[in-house]
Amino acid sequence: MQQVVSFEPLTPERVRPLRTLNSVLFPVKYNDLVYKQALQCGDVTQLAYCEGDLVGAIMCRLEAQPGGTARLYIISLGVLAPYRCLGIGSQLLQRSIAAAAEDPAITTAALHVHAGDEEAQGWYLARGFAVQERIANYYRRLSPPDAILMARRLCAPQEEPAAAAEEPAAAAAAAGQQEPAVALSGG
């Protein structure tokens, strides 16, 4: 039986359930400022629901860049274990990037991935992200403490290549990639 998944942007009423989900998925606790930043960014933070239950989320903020542009920063992306490998993480990422690409000032998307999480690194590589740099001692409570900064350029909606419109999960499956158990980002 196929699960029906719906997606919603973050609203003030949905912050508490998002906090609970993040506490289950990630070994870090995000402070109030992180949730406030995510609320201020419109539809780039997306929540995934299955039969009314929150099962996954991508939490983002916008960061000003030189030259008047902005960067979509992915704070976290995660899906509860029973709902992984269903394409939910791919859809969350795709929806967030599509929302950001509607603003021509937002030119890139970026995130930090735990250096020890090669599965998540491969997952993001399969979705157009590239390794920018390794940052020593980025995480205080994880071992190894290093992070990999990954980024990708965003296309304006009219520039979106036809191949990018394909279902990312199908493209990743063809490449032998699965959604990571937890794609940990920095905050």
> Which CATH number does the domain housing residue 82 bear?
3.40.630.30
Q: How high is the pLDDT of residue 141?
A: 82
Amino acid sitting at position 78 = G
Mean pLDDT across 24-37: 92
Q: How high is the pLDDT of residue 165?
A: 37
**112 is known as an active-site residue:** yes
Task: Identify the residue with better confidence: 65 or 156.
Answer: 65
Q: How many domains does the chain have?
A: 1
Strand partners, 5: 50
Task: Identify the residue with better confidence: 170 or 45.
Answer: 45
Residue 157 pLDDT > 90 = no
Residue 35 pLDDT > 90 = yes
Q: How high is the pLDDT of residue 89?
A: 96
Mean pLDDT across 156-172: 41
Residue 187 pLDDT > 70 = no
Pick from 150, 99, 159, 103: which is nearest to 127 by CA? 150
Domain ranges, residue 133 = 5-183
**73 is known as an active-site residue:** yes
Annotated catalytic residue within 30, 35, 49, 112: 112
DSSP reduced 3-state for 108 = strand
Mean pLDDT across 149-156: 88
Place of tokens 């989320």: 57
Annotated catalytic residue within 49, 73, 124, 138: 73
Pick from 134, 138, 108, 120: which is nearest to 181 by CA? 120
**pTM of the predicted model, to two decimals?**
0.81
Task: Identify the residue with better confidence: 107 or 2.
Answer: 107
What average pLDDT does the structure give for the chain?
Answer: 85
Distance of CA 115 to the CA centre of its chain: 17
Which tokens belong to 25?
A: 């998925």
Q: CB under 8 Å to 52, separation ≥6 — which residues?
A: none
Contact 104, 156 (CB under 8 A): yes
pLDDT per residue over 95-117, tens digit each? Answer: 999 999 999 999 999 999 999 99
Cα–Cα distance measured from residue 123 to residue 142, given in angstroms and rounded to the nearest whole number:
20
